[in-house]
Structure 1
Amino acid sequence: MVLLFVACAQAQDPAAADGGACPQLPDGTDLRWEYRAGPDSDFCRAIRNSDGSEAFGLYIAAKSPFEPRRGDRAEAGSIDGRSMHWYRGELAGKPNVQVRETLIDVGNGKLAHIWLQANSSEQLKEALGQAEGLRFSSARLSSAR
């Protein structure tokens, strides 16, 4: 009986299901994680099950190459209880794609750089809502590997 309980608990563990330090996806979304671990970082892509496209991605590490600029501020929001702002970005050669990025402190000395790209206002609103529904667990952000 105990062995069955342990097997069920492992099957329901989000870290086991989506790999490493990816945060918990919001309930009711049609998303799954693609995960890759680096020596000192975690790379997560939220993939739409319906068509295999990327809804958003994130990079978790002690440092981030992304540096938010106040002049690029767009929408205000909240991720896992942390107030934040989305910042506008651009893609070379794709002026019609709406890009948003943010940087949040997720604890344990780690930062999460989150980005998304949208082809329409509706897709942007959906992706922002999904990204803002993420839940980070400090236990999953452990620097121990």
Structure 2
Amino acid sequence: MKATAMLATALLFAAAGAAHAQSASDCPTLPPGSALVWEKLDGKGYTFCKAIRDSDGRQVLAVMITGEAPFRPRRADRIQEGVIDGNQTWWYRSELAGTVGVEVREALLELGRHHVAHISLRGGDEEELSQAMRLAESLRFDDVRLSVN
């Protein structure tokens, strides 16, 4: 009985440690009640996070955290100012090759001196795009900043 209790306690601590390791870092914090989950892919020098909607499995937005921005913003593509995690930024108009009727927006956020977050989202109409932008602007990168510094 004592061994079973000790094993159960050890498993709880292991599970808590694993959950903490996932949440403390790799992807930004999603707002409560968003009904989204992160799908994460780690590569050499980057972490790619896709926010997936629970209800239908669709991607709402993506965040790539890396040392060098994969996105080169052009001033002519600036469309709207935004604030992400308390930092002023710009949303840029972009496009997805081979796709008709889909609006794409991208933004960059500095995460300290050596990392950036490239945020991209898309929507089939203005309402969907606006919702995704509001969601992106409610992301929190505190744990991500701690893990990359």
Classify the TM-score, shorter chain.
0.7 to 0.9
Query: Which letter does structure 2 place at the counterpart of 1:140?
Result: S
Q: Partner residue of 2:148?
A: 141
Q: Partner residue of 2:22?
A: 16
For the Cα contact (< 8 Å) 1:24–1:134, is it kept in 2?
A: yes
Within-5 A mapping of 1:83-98: 83-98=88-103
Q: Partner residue of 1:100?
A: 105
- Secondary structure of the structure 1 residue equivalent to 2:111: strand
Q: TM-score when scaled to structure 2?
A: 0.82
Deviation at residue 94 of structure 1 after TM alignment: 2.0
What is the aligned counterpart of 1:126 among 127, 131, 142? 131
For the Cα contact (< 8 Å) 2:53–2:60, is it kept in 1?
A: yes
Q: Partner residue of 1:56?
A: 61
Structure 1 or 2, whichever has the larger Rg, is 2
What is the aligned counterpart of 2:41 among 33, 36, 56? 36
Q: Partner residue of 1:47?
A: 52
In structure 2, C-alpha distance between the alignment counterparts of 1:72 and 1:44, rounded to whole Å: 24
Identity %: 42
Query: Which structure: greater helix fraction?
Result: 2
In structure 1, C-alpha distance between the alignment counterparts of 2:124 and 2:99, rounded to whole Å: 10
Deviation at residue 141 of structure 1 after TM alignment: 2.6
Deviation at residue 8 of structure 1 after TM alignment: 8.1
Q: Partner residue of 1:26?
A: 31
Deviation at residue 16 of structure 1 after TM alignment: 2.0
Q: Which runs of 5+ in 1 are unaligned?
A: none
Q: Partner residue of 2:116?
A: 111
Q: Which runs of 5+ in 2 are unaligned?
A: 1-8
Deviation at residue 49 of structure 1 after TM alignment: 0.5
For the aligned residues, what is the CA RMSD?
2.2
For the Cα contact (< 8 Å) 2:25–2:146, is it kept in 1?
A: no
